[in-house]
Structure 1
Amino acid sequence: MSDIVKTIARFNAGRDPERLAMKYQAMRSSPFVFLRGTCHLFYAGLPRDKMLDEAPPVWICGDMHLENFGSYKGDNRLIYFDNNDFDEACLAPNLYELARLLTSVLVGASDLKLSRAQALALCHTALDSYGAALAFGKARWIEAETSVGMVRDLFDALASRPRAAFLDRRSVLKGKTRVLKVDGKKALPVSDPQRAAVTEFMNKFAASQPNPDFYRILDVARRIAGTGSLGVDRYVMLVEGKGSPDGNFLIDLKEALPSSVMPHVRTPQPTWQNEAQRVVDVQRRNQAVSQAFLHAVDFNQRSYVLRSLQPSEDRVALSDWDGKLPRLEEVVNSMAQLSAWAHLRSGGRQRSSIADELIAFGNRKDWQLPLIEVATQCEAQVAADWKAYCEAYDRGEFKLPAAH
């Protein structure tokens, strides 16, 4: 058994076999999907570079790539576009974050049908935008009125997406009662013990909330979402919300696992109450407005993140750039700015760099070209790892026992 097989199998040990098989199959499809599914490999292979390690420590999301930005409804009921995945969040040099973003651009070029020159141009766009946003020194945000290009297209599409239509895509109406669609694409069935455990948990959680009836469970399923976290214990719950059938809400409950970045970071980390508290606290610091219903909770004697699923939750359709590079440049520009704003917004918290240090770093240019070289090395490592993975996968080395 090759090292890559052992490393990937060890990292994913204990996950739900049915959803883990989906993850392994998806990772076989392209280097970009493989990159998204192997954050732990990326940081293990990140060059031990003095420039990287001496960059300002900030609160990073940890898994920065082109697919980890999207729209969501905040707890103030307004819709924002921002980074939306903090499972790997930790305190780390800011260039760790940017190295992964640039690598995702280079590795994702093939999927997006980008030339090498176009991918490198997007890398320069990202670094210029990030540096300028840091140098300006003020954290901003992106909502419908401040969005441009393909991000604006996303907001426009969300405006015509009512809750009833969203629920119709995820559930089936039986009379005046909805049940979740268990279609093998978004959801899988739960066992009777799983259903009972989730229902008991939600009943206890609801009792601590101002409106307990809102959280009355109508149905439960195992949720299928993402790439890196496929197989992690995760549920989607259909709850009463604001009334049946069209005022129902969907709630996501996902186990929080240790950050796969942290073992490769020399920056001292604070002590967290649990992993979910780390995820939720960094998300609250980095986002301009927190996602609705965001909580760190205990379930089955482990920590989980509880949050809502909304009609307003979506990603930019990057493949719709139509061969017009400025359309992609606007999106990458927005992503780089959002990263800088998150680092400024959370600056000074638990030993992260203060704004003055980040402004000074943004005004420097000596790190930009070397970082693109680091990303190029990472891209080559991803390509080699994916080739080895594909060979092992095709030999059947990632075949899992059938689910019962």
Structure 2
Amino acid sequence: MATTQDGPLSPVKGGVLSPDERAVLGKEARARVPRSAHAVYEPDEKRPDPVDIIERQSATRVPELVPVRYGRMLESPFRFYRGAAAIMASDLGAGANSGLYVQLCGDAHLLNFRLLASPERHLVFDINDFDETLPGPFEWDVKRLAASLVIAGRANGFPAKRCDALVRAAVASYRERMRGFAGLRTLDIWYARDDFDQIAALLPEPPAEEDERRAARAAAKARTRTGLQAAAKLTRVVDGAPRIISDPPLITPLTELLPGARGEALAQTLRDLISDYASSLSPERRHLLGRFHVVDMARKVVGVGSVGTRCWIVLLLGRDDQDPLLLQAKEAGESVLAPYCGASPYENQGERVVAGQRLMQAASDIFLGWEHVTGIDGRERDFYVRQLRDWKGIARPETMDAGTLAGFARLCGASLARAHARSGDPIAIAAYLGRGDTFDRALAEFARSYADQNERDHRALAEAAAEGRVTARTDLTV
């Protein structure tokens, strides 16, 4: 099994390889899987039932939240796609791949690219969610992004040619930036990041004035999404102390979820989780966390694909009740890529997520860490912890015209290339992709076919709900 460290195309395989030798390895990969072959998506007769895949995931999740997950996935083909990373992993794993391994996000759809805060309080554009991260073939992330663009374009009513253009814009941006990284020194690649005030340079031409205004508004809004803003929205003062507001089933304070002795036991488990996870932080960040103390906690429903996993928000205070810190502790299971890429080298799945995030992101949350927990039910689970909200700005593709979405697609492609270049071999990948648009055109064709498959899978879930095979709660929206 190839890995980022000792895979067949690693620059350290069999000793140090020269840039020319690494480029040769990239070109040789075309013999295994020609670039044009990536255009093909043809599910065979043995393709697993997509509803079965989703139900196998649901079997490990909180039972009363599973209908919420299905309800959210039924809202639209795009919402379904957000929850269907395991289905796509199965489809990608069934085919041939380039063998050019990187650290994959594993769920690189367009809404997983957003504005984030760096520890230095800079606003950066980067990947956000790494629940499925694992080393794997670079093109799997690119295909996940490409298909999401067609699905989003169709939701906006764009014709097929416009949707193709979205994919080609993203993939060309990925290919061109990877070629740029192939010529950089190793440390220059590692130090690269996409600051908000510099991301326009990633576009082939200056953005239109309206797009500049839209970006400025998005940045301003992201800067307001701080821990203070989250605390003001999610908490209120009760008997002189701040408490998390109840909004079941989306947010359920622990005192409501499990009153009595079981609730007390779970509260102690979560306090121990926060205390113990500090050992995964660097010493100075561990010291900083020690300045805060836990005052309340609640279960929270997050996203689409993650609905039903055990996710807790924990309210901590520093000097007083005007000094809040909201942490999110999220259950981490095995990556959906594991059956096709091999198990993670990390025994703790939370550490897998954190290690992948730190490897791919240019700047990660200062409170990002992991822990292993034995629950009050006696079952052992892994968690990763991060701040609930810190200058996060999410795209709204449904509000974008074709030109604006194409610009966003280019930014996503460029950002993904930067993330991949940190762990993979940019010289080999750039050589495989080449200077022409063969790979771009192939991915546009693949994305059309896979968007069709996604629509069929979405209908299959709707039919399963109508037949009573699954129960969907449709009164709650994201």
With over 3 angstroms needed to count, the CA separation of the structure-2 counterparts of 1:173 and 1:80, relative to structure 1, is farther
Matched, 1:360 2:404: no
Cα distance between partner residues in 2 of 1:156 and 1:26 = 29
- Indicate which of 389, 393, 402 corresponds to 2:465: 393
- Indicate which of 330, 334, 343 corresponds to 2:407: 330
With over 3 angstroms needed to count, the CA separation of the structure-2 counterparts of 1:361 and 1:4, relative to structure 1, is closer
Q: Secondary structure of the residue that 1:42 maps to in structure 2?
A: helix
Deviates more, 1:103-112 or 1:229-238: 103-112
Cα distance between partner residues in 2 of 1:212 and 1:165 = 19
Query: 1:263 is matched by which residue type in structure 2?
Result: P
Q: Secondary structure of the residue that 1:250 maps to in structure 2?
A: strand
Cα distance between partner residues in 1 of 2:289 and 2:134 = 33
For 1:364-393, what per-residue CA distance to the aligned partner results, in whole angstroms no more than 9, with x for missing partners?
Answer: 433222222222222222111111110111
Matched, 1:289 2:379: no
Query: 2:244 is matched by which residue type in structure 1?
Result: L
Matched with 1:22 is 68
Is contact 2:277-2:370 (8 Å) kept?
Answer: no
- Indicate which of 335, 338, 345 corresponds to 1:259: 335
Q: Secondary structure of the residue that 1:228 maps to in structure 2?
A: coil
With over 3 angstroms needed to count, the CA separation of the structure-2 counterparts of 1:270 and 1:389, relative to structure 1, is closer
Cα distance between partner residues in 1 of 2:143 and 2:75 = 23
For 1:237-274, what per-residue CA distance to the aligned partner results, in whole angstroms no more than 9, with x for missing partners?
Answer: 0111x333232011010111111122134xx6662232
Cα distance between partner residues in 2 of 1:77 and 1:278 = 26
Is contact 1:17-1:400 (8 Å) kept?
Answer: no
Q: Any stretches of 5+ residues in structure 1 without a counterpart?
A: 348-353
- Indicate which of 167, 174, 177 corresponds to 2:231: 167
Matched, 1:314 2:393: yes
Q: Any stretches of 5+ residues in structure 2 without a counterpart?
A: 1-47, 201-210, 375-379, 474-478
Is contact 2:152-2:397 (8 Å) kept?
Answer: no
With over 3 angstroms needed to count, the CA separation of the structure-2 counterparts of 1:296 and 1:213, relative to structure 1, is closer
Matched, 1:277 2:351: yes
Matched with 2:80 is 34
- Indicate which of 207, 213, 217 corresponds to 1:153: 217
Matches within 5 A, 1:2-13: 3-13=49-59
- Indicate which of 251, 262, 271 corresponds to 1:187: 251
Cα distance between partner residues in 2 of 1:4 and 1:184 = 29
Aligned positions, number:
387
Matched with 1:381 is 453
Matched with 2:168 is 124
Is contact 1:202-1:215 (8 Å) kept?
Answer: no
Query: 1:7 is matched by which residue type in structure 2?
Result: I
Query: 1:116 is matched by which residue type in structure 2?
Result: A
Q: Secondary structure of the residue that 1:367 maps to in structure 2?
A: helix
Cα distance between partner residues in 1 of 2:115 and 2:319 = 25
How far the C-alpha of 1:145 sits from its partner, in A, is 1.5
Is contact 2:105-2:134 (8 Å) kept?
Answer: yes
Cα distance between partner residues in 1 of 2:53 and 2:152 = 23
Cα distance between partner residues in 2 of 1:238 and 1:49 = 45
Query: 1:154 is matched by which residue type in structure 2?
Result: A
Matched, 1:221 2:331: no
The CA RMSD measured in Å over matched residues stands at 2.5
With over 3 angstroms needed to count, the CA separation of the structure-2 counterparts of 1:285 and 1:21, relative to structure 1, is same
Q: Secondary structure of the residue that 2:173 maps to in structure 1?
A: helix
With over 3 angstroms needed to count, the CA separation of the structure-2 counterparts of 1:394 and 1:260, relative to structure 1, is same
Query: 2:399 is matched by which residue type in structure 1?
Result: D
Query: 1:20 is matched by which residue type in structure 2?
Result: V
With over 3 angstroms needed to count, the CA separation of the structure-2 counterparts of 1:46 and 1:163, relative to structure 1, is closer
Cα distance between partner residues in 2 of 1:49 and 1:364 = 25
Is contact 1:132-1:363 (8 Å) kept?
Answer: no
Cα distance between partner residues in 2 of 1:14 and 1:398 = 15
- The structure with the largest alpha-carbon Rg is 2
Cα distance between partner residues in 2 of 1:158 and 1:384 = 35
For 1:143-182, what per-residue CA distance to the aligned partner results, in whole angstroms no more than 9, with x for missing partners?
Answer: 2322444554321223345643332111113365311122
Matched with 2:384 is 305
Matched with 2:196 is 144
Is contact 1:163-1:247 (8 Å) kept?
Answer: no
Matched with 1:350 is none
Query: 2:221 is matched by which residue type in structure 1?
Result: A
How far the C-alpha of 1:356 sits from its partner, in A, is 1.8
Q: Secondary structure of the residue that 2:393 maps to in structure 1?
A: coil
For 1:91-141, what per-residue CA distance to the aligned partner results, in whole angstroms no more than 9, with x for missing partners?
Answer: 111111111111111122233343322211100101110000001115432
Is contact 1:177-1:244 (8 Å) kept?
Answer: no
Deviates more, 1:37-46 or 1:69-78: 69-78
Is contact 2:278-2:369 (8 Å) kept?
Answer: no
With over 3 angstroms needed to count, the CA separation of the structure-2 counterparts of 1:270 and 1:13, relative to structure 1, is closer
Matched, 1:245 2:321: yes
Cα distance between partner residues in 2 of 1:379 and 1:319 = 17
- Indicate which of 68, 93, 97 corresponds to 2:112: 68
